[in-house]
């Protein structure tokens, strides 16, 4: 049985003060223990959040990582630095990074390996653009991205990783995929992992859906056979939204 996982991706939102206010409020709330809860915050807010969320069930995530432990890489943050801050998860290969920051299948793979070697769990993003969707290339794209991201990993490393299927055309547009279509693609990703590794590994890995998930549609996605959680942008930015997502995700 795979534990459900809701991860908020704050993207480039929230100052330290705003992040602290959010964490102090969420900390007071009663949260479902059945759902794993993650907040992926900007680097600048991680230290403050780590102090506030210490000892709670809410885990901390980053939104990117470099693949080297240290070096002359101006502007980058290493896995060691994230570990030191108490970070558990790191988003790797988000479509915004692929689109605007030249993230490639190869750098995603290097980052995934580096994260796992340092005890960080990667949330690996895959998903097709609108043009690829319209050209019926969804399966080919997610296969290529998934196989490349997981190349050279052990089955155990894959089992603790999280994949997020995010159709690019559904991100921040208010236009979500139908739960059935998202489930079909996520089941396909599981099939790809079974071929690349084995069925047990494919059954263990958690696969989220992302793209315009809200408190009122999250349960519909999670009722599907292969969807284990959600990676949520906009709706995770308010306390009410984040708590609503967790409540929605805990319904059977
Ligand atoms: O990482 C989260 C995704 O990009 C989804 O963003 P969204 O929930 O604002 O559509």
Instruction: Tell me what the mean pLDDT of segment 45-68 comes to.
Output: 97
Which of 101, 102, 106, 114 has its CA nearest to residue 65?
114
Retrieve residue 232's tokens: 């949520």
Band (252; pLDDT cuts 50, 70, 90): low
Active site residue 76: no
Angle, to 10 degrees, between the axis of helix 179-196 and the axis of helix 138-150? 40
Which residue out of 36, 96, 128, 166 is catalytically annotated? Answer: 166
Residue nearest to atom 6 of ligand 1 (CA): 233
Rounded Cα–Cα distance for residues 70 and 52 (Å): 27
- Within 29-104, where are the H helices? 43-53, 79-84, 95-100
How far does the centroid of ligand 1 lie from the alpha carbon of residue 159, in Å? 24
Give the ipTM of the model, two decimals please. 0.99
Task: Tell me the best of 124, 168, 218, 234 to mutate to test the pocket of ligand 1, counting ligand atoms within 8 Å of each CB and taking the most.
Answer: 234
pLDDT digits 0-9 by tens, 202-238: 999 999 999 999 999 999 999 999 999 999 999 999 9
How far does the centroid of ligand 1 lie from the alpha carbon of residue 115, in Å? 22
Within 13 A of 132's CA, how many CA atoms are on the CB side?
Answer: 17
Ligand 1 site, CB within 6 A: 9, 94, 166, 171-172, 210-213, 231-235
Retrieve residue 87's tokens: 């970070």
How far does the centroid of ligand 1 lie from the alpha carbon of residue 230, in Å? 9
Rounded Cα–Cα distance for residues 122 and 26 (Å): 24
Retrieve residue 35's tokens: 């759902």
Strand spans (E) along 20-118: 35-40, 58-62, 89-92
Residue 63 confidence (pLDDT): 98
What are the angstrom distances between the C-alpha of 52 and each of 62, 64, 85, 189, 241? 16, 22, 12, 36, 20
Q: Which residues are annotated as a binding site for substrate?
A: 9-11, 172, 212, 233-234
How far does the centroid of ligand 1 lie from the alpha carbon of residue 72, in Å? 32
Percent helix, percent strand, percent coil in the chain, to nearest 5:
45, 15, 35
Rounded Cα–Cα distance for residues 61 and 7 (Å): 8
Instruction: Tell me what the mean pLDDT of segment 82-107 comes to.
Output: 98
Active site residue 66: no
Q: Which residues are annotated as a binding site?
A: 9-11, 172, 212, 233-234
pLDDT digits 0-9 by tens, 142-190: 999 999 999 999 999 999 999 999 999 998 888 888 999 999 999 999 9
pLDDT digits 0-9 by tens, 11-41: 999 999 999 999 999 999 988 889 999 999 9
How far does the centroid of ligand 1 lie from the alpha carbon of residue 52, in Å? 25
| Enclosing H/E stretch for 230 | strand 229-232
Residue nearest to atom 8 of ligand 1 (CA): 233
Rounded Cα–Cα distance for residues 7 and 242 (Å): 9
Residue percentage of the chain with pLDDT more than 70: 100
Q: Which atom of ligand 1 is closest in space to residue 232's alpha carbon?
A: 8
Within 13 A of 107's CA, how many CA atoms are on the CB side?
Answer: 14
- Which pTM does this prediction carry? 0.97
Q: Which atom of ligand 1 is closest in space to residue 174's alpha carbon?
A: 10
């Amino acid at each position: 049985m795979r534990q459900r996982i809701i991860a908020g991706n704050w993207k480039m939102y929230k100052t330290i003060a705003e992040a602290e206010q959010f964490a102090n409020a969420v900390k007071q709330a009663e949260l479902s223990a059945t759902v794993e809860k993650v907040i992926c915050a900007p680097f600048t807010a991680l230290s403050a959040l780590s102090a506030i969320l210490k000892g709670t069930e809410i885990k901390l995530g980053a939104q990117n990582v470099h693949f080297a432990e240290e070096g002359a890489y101006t502007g980058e943050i290493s896995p060691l630095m994230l570990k030191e801050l108490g970070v558990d998860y790191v988003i790797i290969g988000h479509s915004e990074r692929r689109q605007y920051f030249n993230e490639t299948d190869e750098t995603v793979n290097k980052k995934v390996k580096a994260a796992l070697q340092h005890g960080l769990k990667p949330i690996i993003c895959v998903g097709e653009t609108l043009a690829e969707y319209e050209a019926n290339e969804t399966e080919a794209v997610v296969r290529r991205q998934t196989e490349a991201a997981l190349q050279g990993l052990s089955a155990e490393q894959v089992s603790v990783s999280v994949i997020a299927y995010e159709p690019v055309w559904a991100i921040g547009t208010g236009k979500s995929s139908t739960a059935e279509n998202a489930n079909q693609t996520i089941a396909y990703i599981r099939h790809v992992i079974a071929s690349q590794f084995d069925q047990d590994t494919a059954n263990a890995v958690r696969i989220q859906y992302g793209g315009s998930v809200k408190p009122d549609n999250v349960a519909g996605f999670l009722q599907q056979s292969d969807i284990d959680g959600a990676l949520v942008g906009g709706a995770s930015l308010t306390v009410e939204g984040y708590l609503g997502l967790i409540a929605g995700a805990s319904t059977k």
